[in-house]
Structure formats: C-alpha cells, structure tokens
C-alpha cells in the first residue's frame, strides 16, 4: 500500500534506545575483560583526595580486607605518574599494571579486588549510569546523604579496630 508516517519523536527515541543498549553492552564487555585481567592488588596504586572524609573512609573500608598502596593526590608525584592535578581533583585514580582507571572504573576495580564482585560487575555493566552516579557522589560530597554514608563507614572502621 502506501508509506505509513511515524512521528519523528518515536524514531529518535527508538534510535537512542538501540544506541544506549549497544553502548551499555560494549562498556560491560570492556569492563568485564579489563577487570578479569587485572584483579591483583599488589600492583595497584590508589590516588585519592586526602581532604575528603568520604574518600578516606571508603579507602579505610577497602583496606579492612585488602591493604592497598594509596596516596592522597595532594602529596603524590602526579607528573611522574602521568596524572594532572585537575584530573585528580575530580576523581579517584587507580593505576594497576600500567593502566589508569578513573572514577567509576577505578571504584569497580577496587570493589572487585576487595571481593565485592557482584557490586563491581553491576557498576561496570551500568556504564554511563554508573559514571553518572560516581560524578554525582563526587560533586555532592558534602550533601547529607554522603555525610551519613561517611559516618556509616567510619563506624565500621572504628568497630573493626
């Protein structure tokens, strides 16, 4: 018969959904391969914000199970590590096997190393959504939610010692 016109909005939404699914799948495959290849803590170096209570509490929680080499970026030899000050003010960095992991990818690697494999895989599979969540936490470190979570982590640390 004839051509049936589709509303433009439906076509755009359909294309975006397909691209989002493809992007999520490709990110999950890349993260899964990378995390599987590098689960060794002995070569990992964590560069974090030494002035952030949430960052310090999270690192302490990680170290309850696995001691990890960590430096606050304020005292780290950033240039020697191939990092910039701007990069480190925005996100945690993990360097492992000469590969640099930033933000949510760094957290996923650290969770995997700690033994939280399901949480690590979930964060990796979430792709852009996981990175958005990481950026939200990083920007809202002083929000009530993050301050409460920091206290929970600090209590776990004090109970463990």
The domains of the chain are located at 8-160
Lowest mean pLDDT among 13-27, 49-63, 90-104: 13-27
Render pLDDT for 29-47 as a digit per residue (tens, 0 to 9): 444 444 445 456 667 999 9
- C-alpha 107/C-alpha 75 separation (Å) is 21
Q: How does the average pLDDT of the chain come out, rounded?
A: 82
Q: Is the pLDDT of residue 12 over 60?
A: no
Neighbours of 45 (CB within 10 A): 14
């Amino acid at each position: 018969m004839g051509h049936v016109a589709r509303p433009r909005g439906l076509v755009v939404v359909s294309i975006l959904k397909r691209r989002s699914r493809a992007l999520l799948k490709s990110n999950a495959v890349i993260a899964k391969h990378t995390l599987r290849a590098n689960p060794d803590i002995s070569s990992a170096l964590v560069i974090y914000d030494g002035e952030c209570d949430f960052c310090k509490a999270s690192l302490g929680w990680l170290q309850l199970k696995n001691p990890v080499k960590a430096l606050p970026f304020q005292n780290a030899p950033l240039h020697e590590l191939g990092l910039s000050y701007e990069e480190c003010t925005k996100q945690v960095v993990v360097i492992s096997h000469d590969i640099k992991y930033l933000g949510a990818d760094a957290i996923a690697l650290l969770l995997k190393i700690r033994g939280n494999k399901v949480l690590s895989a979930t964060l990796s599979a979430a792709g852009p959504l996981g990175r958005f969540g990481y950026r939200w936490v990083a920007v809202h470190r002083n929000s009530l939610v993050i301050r409460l979570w920091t206290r929970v982590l600090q209590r776990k640390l004090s109970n463990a010692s």
